[in-house]
Chain A
């Protein structure tokens, strides 16, 4: 496995909040999913990997380079695409102008080549029909795709995406999956999301973060296996399960220790994730 990024015992505190508390993992080529509840430290971790923030302690390396060293940080950024959680857009810029501006910041100095590249990424996110429109006049999903297009400029070797599918409609999410899976061929993609379906569909590797620590790192199938023999359905709500919800068929899906004779079902990645995060809470309480 070739490692694109290495995170070793990284800690970061914001005031009284310990956002990252000794997180360590390595990611290689392909798509890696980053899952975790709100406040788990995902955005902080992505900002550090995108060289936007620095850790208080611990070591980070991207393509074998240290982002703490100015010269090496620039080398990392030349190979990086970053989509922040809440991308901002300057007033008055059209979609084309905004992406073109980011292309200049990515050191694309040849005007003709730059414009070709801008058109390529606009086509990739299916925004060609609105490329002349003001970004701030677009819907939330379209703005997100605009920011995604900017992240895709110069075909980055390492793509850091913070909740890229938030606000996208189902068709656009499918298009996004196609886009990211192609981007993950021979390159590294780190995808933070709350959508476990996206992780199941796209990722070869998954990291679960909670309270600033890495709770799980492995293949999606391994995360799914955490819930093996612990998911069952019943016609009525049972009190001995850790989580229960009513499904579309009108039955109740239960997560936890099944009673004798329970109607076990095949778990999903979401089941595994919920079991994992729930178990961690129990351990912490103990």
Chain B
């Protein structure tokens, strides 16, 4: 009665299979995030409104200038892409819970932690890659000094990286909210924290002397000159600091499951120390 229907499985091969599965899942989740109704509806709305606006001003309209494209793209991605992808990533990350599909998925070899890791990979290869691509386009557009950009000053590589990292950070924050706050309403709750936290830290009366805006949870856009920004500190270290926040978001997602939590606590402590150091160096 003790004979068993089992076969030997090589441990190393099993680890490879798990890593590949996380990557495959990440590609799938990234695509879902990009094709989320939240993204399509908001982008569709923007295109529609722009079209209506152009049609109404047809007589005075002219072809968009290089500077106009640069400015429009940078504002769109810097201010709105993070918020749009926060919603998209949260919808994807919470879909199994909301649709009660978790019961089925729970019996699969991919543990909840691996599935969460797949979501984080999805944030990187979906919204993250898209934002990075747009930043490369902006870098190419801004690299030609023979063109006039009007009021727009082409951004440095560090500043462009910051914008892409803000999109990744918003996605990681969304996965973190969906993973930890497993109840209806966690999406708007996270959004409120993201937006109002930033508003609180960007208090115009206390700026520009204090440096709170550089620790805000989301991107700030106070009406400061480049000189004031320069006084705030290093753009490069700020980009590193934002990368640290993204990594911390990933660690928070990994800490959701009990098994192996001690190991992830140790890793999180290291990432936290590095992020704090970058936060101090940026000032």
Contacts and interface: CB of A to CB of B under 8 A. Distances in A.
Interface of A: 1-4, 26, 29, 47, 50-52, 63-65, 70, 74-75, 77-80, 82-84, 86-92, 101-102, 104-107, 109, 111, 147, 150, 157-158, 160, 187-188
B108 A77 contact: yes
A47 B106 CA distance: 10
Given A2-B3, A109-B21, A52 B107 contact: yes
Contacts of A105: 21, 25, 105, 108-110, 115
Nearest to B9: A75
Contacts of B109: 74, 77-78, 105-107
B266 interface: no
Given A87-B101, A91-B99, 15 more contacts: A3-B3, A26-B1, A47-B103, A50-B106, A51-B106, A63-B4, A63-B6, A74-B111, A75-B9, A88-B104, A104-B24, A104-B28, A105-B115, A109-B20, A157-B5
A104 B104 contact: no
What 3 A-B pairs come out closest when comparing CB atoms? A88-B100, A64-B4, A88-B101
A51 B107 contact: yes
Interface of B: 1-6, 9, 14, 17-18, 20-21, 23-25, 28, 37, 95-96, 99-111, 115, 259
A75 B5 CA distance: 12
B108 A52 contact: no
Contact of A101 (B6, B20, B28, B100): B28
A157 B6 CA distance: 9
28 contacts: A1-B1, A2-B3, A2-B4, A3-B3, A26-B1, A29-B5, A64-B6, A70-B111, A77-B109, A78-B109, A79-B5, A84-B103, A84-B104, A87-B103, A87-B104, A88-B100, A88-B102, A88-B104, A89-B101, A90-B96, A90-B101, A92-B37, A101-B28, A104-B25, A105-B21, A105-B115, A106-B109, A109-B21
A109 B107 contact: no
Interface centre among A64, A74, A83 (most CB of B within 10 A): A74
A221 B14 CA distance: 43
Contacts of A83: 104
A90 to B, nearest CB: 5
A107 B100 contact: no
A86 B107 contact: no
A70 B99 CA distance: 26
Contacts of A88: 96, 99-104
A246 to B, nearest CB: 39
A89 B25 CA distance: 17
A26 B20 CA distance: 35
A50 B1 contact: no
B64 to A, nearest CB: 34
Contact of A63 (B5, B17, B21, B106): B5
B5 A2 contact: yes
Nearest to A50: B107
Contact of A102 (B2, B14, B104): B104
Contacts of A107: 17-18, 20-21, 108-110
B99 A89 contact: yes
A137 B2 CA distance: 46
A187 B6 CA distance: 11
Given A90-B96, A101-B28, A65 B6 contact: yes
Contacts of A87: 101, 103-104
A90 B99 contact: yes
Nearest to B92: A90
A279 to B, nearest CB: 29
B259 A70 contact: yes
A270 to B, nearest CB: 29
A158 B4 CA distance: 12
A160 B5 CA distance: 15
Contacts of B259: 70
Contacts of A84: 103-104
A87 B107 CA distance: 12
A101 B115 CA distance: 11
B70 to A, nearest CB: 35
B5 A188 contact: yes
Contacts of B96: 88, 90
A87 B106 CA distance: 12
Nearest to B35: A92
A90 B24 contact: no
Nearest to B103: A84
A82 B107 contact: yes
A98 B27 CA distance: 15
A224 B2 CA distance: 29
Contacts of A3: 1-4
B174 to A, nearest CB: 16
A89 B104 CA distance: 9
B103 A86 contact: yes
Contacts of B102: 88
A82 B108 CA distance: 9
A104 B18 CA distance: 10
A75 B7 CA distance: 9
